[in-house]
Amino acid sequence: MIDNEIIIVLSILALVAILLIIDKLRIDIIAILCMLALAWTGILTPLETLAGFSSNAVITMLAVMIMGKGIARTGLMAGFARLALRYSGNSQRRIVAVVSSAVGLISGFIQNIGSAVLFLPAILNISRSKKIPASSLIMPIGFAILLSGPLTMIGSGPLMLVNDFLIRSSLEPYRLFAVTPVGLALLFSCVVFFFFLGRFVLPRYRYGEDRELLQIKLIENWDLSANIRHYRIEVNSPIIGKSLEETGIWDKFNVNILAITGDQQPEYAPWRETKFKADQIISLLGKENNARNFASAYNLLPAEKPGKPKMLEDTTSAGFAEIVVPPRSGIAGQTIKKFGLRRRYGVEPVLLYHKGENIRGDFSDVEIAPGDIFIVHGLWDKIAEMKKGYDFVVITPFEADEKDTSKAWIALSCFIVAIGLALAGFSIPISFMSGAILMILTGVLRIDEAYQTIDWKVVFFLAGLIPLGLAMQKTDTASFLAGHIMSLVQGGHTFFLLLVISGISALFSVLISNVGAAVILFPMVISIANTAGIDPRPLALLVAVSTANSFILPTHQVNALLKTPGGYRNKDYLRAGSGLTVVFLLVVVTIFYFFYL
């Protein structure tokens, strides 16, 4: 007869799974309800119920979120995005393949949740720069991160745990790269799967739901040009010594200069009296013919050499904004020339809506009235300065992502220190939290920024579900389920046995954490191996690898973290993850059957 506690836990488990599938409640609410149900039914004590908030997984996630923000702040991930785009071209399928491969190979040496946090800003940057929906990129790259864990024995928590378990069981542990063939095969399978089937299994793009379309809609509504071209001033150019106003760039050619780059840092939205010099690079915004006419008039050559301000093409750093002049604004009754818009804020006005008319080109002498609308282009942190005063109302929503490239090596060093401490044998949460605090102490991030970067919905989701794994162990529910399933396959073909073990591991990693699934199943597969006369080490390793197969629901930390930025629903994971799960099982079981047993 089944114990009453097992029935209660199975009922809560089934209810959680149903709520996650129908997707009517937020995932953190579901997790909190699960946690409270375990407490009110007496399955767990109050201390056990709240244990998830002090778990290694939650503390590690908090730390890597902070470090990920610190590294993103320095622009390192934007550099990675540009490098990836250089080799991927404009094809969406090729971009997904190249970025998934690059991120996956790097993630084999970093905990998967840390990789997801680190690379998310770069993925979003690629989405913006190539006008590809984030939902088409985030899920396949997130799955690649999960599947790259088996590249090394430190790529995921279960792989780190398996050697500890083998040593305690008087079995020989695996070396660092013992699992690499499996990881390479899985990563390759993931890339191929989404390259050929991505358009069928990924959620369809919905026009009004992508925040990046705000820029596209603004450009379309105001008939703006988003083309930025860079030209170098040759030593014989007639533009040398002239000011912006003297070139007739606005009224004659109808283009705007966004930046001038010389020996120093780029000068964004240069003042109208700025004089041009030889060897400078100027960044022009405007229609192709207009920009070419301007370049031809002044003997300018396309700038192919390094030095052009790439931040202008990085929509996480710069873009268009719609600005309204409110009553009692300081610019009302003045011209932008007299007000000094470029000098004050470092933005380039590209269009003025004045008295029902769109004015382009040179409108520096137009007297501004309350209710006028500017369309400006500039760095988001510069546009953010316009929101602080009373002269303008910025109606384009955005988040200014302030970058400090001078801290890049400091941030990277803090992250390397955290990884080094973990590899040296120190506790993973302590190692990563030490790296996060180092970033704060060295000025990469302020403490209030660190708090703001934490996705508390994900934190509560993990902390609320961890007690479910504890309840399954405490009440022997996990042993009850696995024991009954395993009894059905003992004595069958070895390939079928491996398939069932891998499938059960994947199922448990979806319902509870991957680490919890590994801890529950390690002892069981050792017993199965001894009964079947099979080497137990490969079966334990198979469990550790198979817990990465967590695709059909966003219960894994990586999927939970990427769910909101990708705008995914639970049914999206079910559709895309089901096919990949089948591929995963066949690849893993085949490799283990022929090469590890």
pLDDT band at 207 (very low <50, low <70, confident <90, very high): very low
CA–CA dist 373, 351 (Å, integer): 8
Query: CB under 8 Å to 29, separation ≥6 — which residues?
Result: none
Q: What is the three-class DSSP state of 426? A: coil
CA–CA dist 333, 172 (Å, integer): 82
pLDDT digits (tens, 9 = 90+) for 4-61: 888 898 888 888 878 876 767 887 888 899 899 999 999 999 988 888 887 766 787 7
Q: Which of 395, 521, 103 has the alpha carbon at shortest distance from 529?
A: 521
Q: Which of 239, 244, 240, 258 has the alpha carbon at shortest distance from 337?
A: 244
User: Is a pLDDT exceeding 90 seen at residue 340?
Assistant: no
User: Is a pLDDT exceeding 60 seen at residue 205?
Assistant: no
Quote the percentage of the chain above a pLDDT of 70.
Answer: 87
* Cα-Cα-Cα-Cα dihedral sign, residues 248, 253, 256, 262: negative
**pLDDT value of residue 209:** 45
Query: CB under 8 Å to 28, separation ≥6 — which residues?
Result: 456, 457, 458, 460, 461, 464
Q: Residue with structure tokens 């929101």?
A: 387
Query: CB under 8 Å to 477, separation ≥6 — which residues?
Result: 5, 6, 9, 10, 13, 471
pLDDT digits (tens, 9 = 90+) for 60-117: 778 877 887 787 777 676 666 667 767 777 788 888 888 888 888 877 766 676 677 6
CA–CA dist 36, 514 (Å, integer): 22
Where b means 16+ CB within 10 Å and e means fewer, 378-408 reads bbbebbbbbeeeebbebebebeebebeeebb
DSSP alpha helices (H): ranges in 358-455?
Answer: 380-386, 408-423, 428-441, 447-452
